[in-house]
Structure 1
Amino acid sequence: MERAYHKWFSPTLGRYMEMLVFGSEGIPVIFFPTRSAHFYDFENWRVIDAMKDKIIAGSIQVYCVDSIDSESFYSDAPPPLRIARHIQYEKYILNEVVPFIRIQNKKRELVAAGCSLGGYHAVNIAFKHPALFTKVVGMSARYDLTQPLPFFADLFDGYFDENIYFNMPNHFVPGISDPCLLQQLRDMDITLVIGREDTFLDNNRHLSDSLHQLSVPHQFYIWDDEAHRPRYWREMVKIYL
């Protein structure tokens, strides 16, 4: 399996960012890491190995990007700066990672995928830019980071503003009314996967219900147990990516 390491200084983020790319052709997948994890963790957890056959066959090409969650959602900065840093990260993906992929890969399709907080990143960016992404897979994810849950705090300490609203799928999705945007969402291949005992189950149900109300087709799968560990993600990626 072809493996390539890339690193460059991001003018958007003002720091170096790293990435691993697996495969040389196929539909490109931007794979977001879990909470405060890094670009190499999915390889270490053998999640990439679970997709090895698809990668070698040229069905998919996987771009494992790094995260800056410790500088945004999990930083000690005031809440407005936390969400501002996240928005910078999204701009890095859109303005640096996507053009890099377009140079490497000529496929029209583009997939966003991730597990846990990476699933949030994938769904949030894909739903905000449905003209860019053709498929999204969110696994074990939380789609409202402002909602306190057992063992998971409100990541903005009660603060709420427009930037937060437009970066929480469970907030902005129900309010989508633009016909063009809705059609783009309806054309996207959307998959949400969550464990029956996962704390984020109701979060996922809420998003699924919102999509139903907007007549946006999607797949919503509930696995047995919590299903919030690499051993489950190894099985999920075989099925959904």
Structure 2
Amino acid sequence: MEISQQNANPIMNRTYHKWFSANLHRNMEMLVFGHAGRAVLFFPTRMARFYDYENWGIVDALKDKLENGELQLFCVDSIDSESFYNHWVHPVTRIERHLQYEQYILTEVLPVMQTENKGEYFEVAGCSMGAYHAINLAMKHPTLFKKVISMSGRYDLTQQIEDFKDLFDGYRDENIYFNMPLQFMANMEDESVLNTIKKMEIIMAVGETDPFITSNRNFSHLLSAKGIAHQLYIWDNYAHRPRYWKQMVHLYL
């Protein structure tokens, strides 16, 4: 594993990681900000990169918490262009590639987080497509996370919403079903799983004119029907931009 310390800000630790993923059969990169505190796995937006949150000023919006040791941010890379947005391959291949990515997160990234942080639990967050990744992972593996924060998310990728198409072109199978939170959570009856989810802090935020607001409201209603406490914050206007996410992370992370 390649690790390098790169501190433009000498107080706020910044560490670059790169290694060959056994699950994905390719090099993967990650940036870690901060030295202690709550360990947050931070998924990027649609087909974005591990460095985009830094470039957009979103990491800097958390500077005080990072410098004070309240928060440690693990910004992972995306392979959405090889999975959900790889329209050149069959939907079966798309979801299988996503499942390989999930195993990369679970068996490669989380151990690095544990080594770097030494904390007792993880949190998970994301914006836009990253919000989908955060909610999906947290609902599927609730024993791993104490908190999930999703900003401007979409929770069923099989639904066409305005210009956002069904990412599986009408194809459906079990793997797709069990990775669409609006679908599999609707039929979740296992009390032990539901009770574990109920222990998590769940925060969702979305703009009132965001195309995904209905997805957020539907997921909120679903959680309420299951007796799962959560917060849904509706922001003014579209709020699907980095300038809004900078404000959201400061409030919710």
Could you state the TM-score of these two structures normalised by the residue count of structure 2? 0.95
1:66 counterpart residue number: 77
Question: Which of 54, 60, 63 is the matching residue for 2:65?
Answer: 54
Distance 1:108 1:228 in 2: 32
Distance 1:42 1:7 in 2: 18
Aligned residue for 2:165?
153
Code of the residue aligned with 1:135 in structure 2: it is K
Residue number in structure 2 paired with 1:203: 215
Match of 1:132 among 134, 137, 144: 144
Q: What per-residue deviation string (whole Å, max 9, x for no partner) do you get for residues 172-227 of structure 1? A: 11111111101110000000111000000000111001100000000011000010
Deviation at 1:109, TM superposition (A): 2.1
Alignment-derived partner of residue 103 in structure 1:
115
1:14 is aligned to 25
Q: 1:36 corresponds to which residue?
A: 47
2:192 to 167, 180, 190: 180
**Aligned sequence identity (%):** 56
Q: Which amino acid aligns with 1:52?
A: K
What amino acid is aligned across from residue 141 of structure 2 in structure 1? H
SS of the aligned residue for 1:47 comes to coil
The answer to whether 1:24 aligns with 2:41 is no
SS at match of 2:125: strand
Q: Distance in 2 between matches of 1:42 and 1:214?
A: 33
Deviation at 1:118, TM superposition (A): 0.3
User: In structure 1, which of residues 224, 227, 236 is the aligned counterpart of residue 236 of structure 2?
Assistant: 224
What are the Cα deviations for residues 112-140 of structure 1, in whole angstroms up to 9, with x where unaligned? 10000000000100110000011000000
**Equivalent position to 1:166, from 174, 178, 185:** 178
Regions of 4+ moved over 2 Å: none
- For 1:157, give the aligned amino acid: D
The C-alpha deviation readout for 1:58-90, integer Å capped at 9, x for no partner, is: 111000000000000010210000000001001
Partner SS state of residue 132, structure 2:
helix
**Distance across 2 between alignment mates of 1:232 and 1:132:** 28
Matched to 2:101, the amino acid is Y
Question: TM-score w.r.t. structure 1 length?
Answer: 0.99
SS of residue in 2 equivalent to 1:175: coil
Give the unaligned 5+ runs of structure 1: none
Distance 2:95 2:218 in 1: 22
Q: Does 1:121 align with 2:133?
A: yes
Alignment partners' CA distance in 2, 1:207 and 1:87:
22
In the alignment, the residues of structure 2 paired with residue 123 and residue 7 of structure 1 have an alpha-carbon distance, to the nearest angstrom, of 25
**Over aligned residue pairs, what C-alpha RMSD do you find?**
0.5
How many residues align? The count is: 241
Instruction: Output the CA distance in 2 between the equivalents of 1:202 and 1:9.
Output: 39
Instruction: Report what 2:3 is aligned to.
Output: none
For residue 106 of structure 1, report the CA deviation from its aligned partner: 1.2
Aligned mates of 1:164, 1:116 — CA distance in 2: 19
